[in-house]
A and B are shown apart, each in its own frame.
Chain A
């Protein structure tokens, strides 16, 4: 009789697993069909590439957030950190904090795009590391630490920039935001490459296994010899790194680093991860899911806009989808556990 219960549980889990990984994907396909029927030009390559460009910024951060949420953590500071890293990148690119407010490419004394990129990701990673340190060593919950970070990084941004934007970068830097390789926007390529990299890390490396283990059961992970604190710190470094990378791409695209950039991004990012099936309780989720989640939000936003639905209504729809996605996930799990 044990074997029969095992049997039924086994097949139940398989069906649920299938739904859990393909549910969001099926929903995404459905949305694309619906929007295309409503307005066939929705499916035009130009619009599709446009969507890809739109989702790449929050998508990049969502990749990092996937690591954090897999460990049952959260990072609310990413929007502010994005603004801060963007400002740092701008200062490096332009060679000073002087707010020229000029849109001319007069960054003659600047250090070039590479230094700007490096500065953005290093500062992002460091900021993440500091937060990770506070979470593990000071034992302050991630929600609180990163809520503090949200305020601190915004304040730092405003301090550097004096409240205004720093604008006007040279063409080589702008290419990362506005360039095309063939027909594909550069930000979309960066996002895709990063997603593949993250997928490989989580799925095929020792480190990836450790991240799932820590999120699945931190005490069991510790008793299995994993250095739980180090792994926790590392995931905040990763999300910080991606906030820096996203900041660089965003500044390049807008040709400006705004002090008010990224406000509310943490919510979009977390939504993408959660809609993608990653459990807020840790241990369950995937990069593929996050990409689908980010795409879902992007398609929804774009499609609604395409059909002249106001941005107010968009917010309502996206919020409801988030709740439904998690409710569906819960329902599936409760079906399995029975």
Chain B
């Protein structure tokens, strides 16, 4: 184990002291403190919504904290923008890479600070030579003149790290750097992180992947529901997973979700998936490839699909829904083989999807609630000549408004004026208007406040009660546990486990989501 004492005194490089961040009434981060020392890798862990991204945004100068204090290298640190943070040597590498794909590796590394030669013109030679040395530091062996668009995601990540190093970074914050990488690429990244640690660089490693965190981190800070859940220290050996999971899950979270009584679900198999595979789409290099999914979904059942970011859960939903191309495998609906090539095909067959990214994939922000509601069922609310039967349409919306308790001003109100929970209810109503056989909901309560979460859960349970087969994808385990009759876990494009909802616990699921092939370990 590389030690830091040779280089670093135990003075922290970064100290976050009692930082709180409030947004319009919501407290995203409450009284969080942590420290990072030079030559140390600190893991920042927590479930979705725990407040990790908020903290990162504060540290990288994107937004200021509401209260609390940050000290960097012994001086109070109040960045007004990301440049301030960078100037001090704090570089954040986000999940969405920030390289410019049309420029070369060298140009990206030296963007905004190209080395100048005679007459103040850019010295391309020096730039090439320097960038070759810089990328060598992260173990990359490629021509600096290669355009970034030609690199793999992993290579791009390394280029970002190389750029961070060339900026004389003292603290590198990595936000989920491994989510798009293969196992070997992860190994490579880990060894580079180890080398940086030896050089005295401080690293803050934000991740969902517990094994990776356990393997590399010297210490961990765990957040839960915007609060500090605790610090963990390496004690002779790597920090053990159960200890991390315990901190992440806590006790408080499960109290938010009342567990419904187990319903008796004896429906027939509605949707059946066998050997479903996808191939890497060059248009979407971040998408996870499905490696043979087998799944059954019964009428009247809520199947929870639990998985971390990058597990392939969203890709599974999109493949079934005809939104992404399928490379192999079969899907049957009520015993008949189906092959939806577009969402329109899947919808016509009786499948609905509430997508994960509400803003970009579900709502028509500027359009009225009425249009948002009826868009998937225009045929049902129009006559043979193609004219909208607006009275019927309005009546239908009015009835959903009542049954789903959608709080809105008028059917013409643009949907962007509604709260997240009410938007999501409109999207649910959109699908209910079609009486779907199968409803796939992807992160149904993302961006939905706590009160409305419970309402959404109730709606899902009611719908299942009406015989709709529901597949609920979620990375929030309390949610999965609250409503699922049966739960499958996914990791890296594969199903890693299955259990009845009543037997599941957060600890069991977390292990299955985080580890490879550990079915034995759970029972």
**Cβ-defined contact, A213 with B323, below 8 A:** no
Q: Given known contacts A13-B413, A213-B367, is B361 in contact with A227 (CB within 8 Å)?
A: no
Within 8 A of A (CB), among B261-284: none
Residues of B within 8 Å of A5, CB to CB, are 24
Residues of A within 8 Å of B363, CB to CB, are 217, 220
For chains A and B in complex, what number of residue pairs have CB atoms within 8 angstroms? 96
Residues of B within 8 Å of A213, CB to CB, are 364, 367, 371, 375
Set B323, B342, B378: member contacting A210, Cβ < 8 A:
B378
Within 8 A of A (CB), among B356-385: 360-367, 371, 374-376, 378-379, 382
**Cβ-defined contact, B388 with A205, below 8 A:** yes
A225 to B366 alpha-carbon distance, docked (Å)? 19
**Cβ-defined contact, B430 with A224, below 8 A:** yes
Residues of B within 8 Å of A227, CB to CB, are 342, 344
What secondary structure prevails in chain A residues at the interface with B? helix
Closest to A201 in B: B386
**Cβ-defined contact, A217 with B365, below 8 A:** yes
Residues of B within 8 Å of A210, CB to CB, are 375, 378
**Cβ-defined contact, A3 with B407, below 8 A:** yes
Within 8 A of A (CB), among B179-229: none
**Cβ-defined contact, B379 with A206, below 8 A:** yes
Set A9, A13, A223: member contacting B323, Cβ < 8 A:
A223
Set B342, B361, B378: member contacting A209, Cβ < 8 A:
B378
**Cβ-defined contact, B409 with A10, below 8 A:** yes
Q: Given known contacts A2-B419, A206-B379, A283-B364, is B388 in contact with A224 (CB within 8 Å)?
A: no
Within 8 A of A (CB), among B334-349: 342-344, 346-348
A220 to B386 alpha-carbon distance, docked (Å)? 21
Q: Given known contacts A205-B387, A222-B343, is B367 in contact with A283 (CB within 8 Å)?
A: yes
**Cβ-defined contact, A209 with B374, below 8 A:** yes
Within 8 A of A (CB), among B402-452: 407, 409, 413-414, 417-419, 430, 449
B470 interface residue (CB < 8 Å to A): no
Closest to A337 in B: B416
**Cβ-defined contact, B362 with A220, below 8 A:** yes
Instruction: Type the 1/0 row for A20-54, where 1 means its CB is closer than 8 Å to any CB of B.
Output: 00000000000000000000000000000000000
Within 8 A of A (CB), among B19-68: 24-25
Q: Given known contacts A205-B387, A206-B386, is B374 in contact with A223 (CB within 8 Å)?
A: no
A212 to B355 alpha-carbon distance, docked (Å)? 20
CB distance from A34 to the nearest CB of B (A): 33
Within 8 A of A (CB), among B472-513: none
A189 interface residue (CB < 8 Å to B): no
**Which residues of B pack against A, CB within 8 Å?**
24-25, 321, 323, 342-344, 346-348, 353, 355, 360-367, 371, 374-376, 378-379, 382, 386-388, 390, 407, 409, 413-414, 417-419, 430, 449
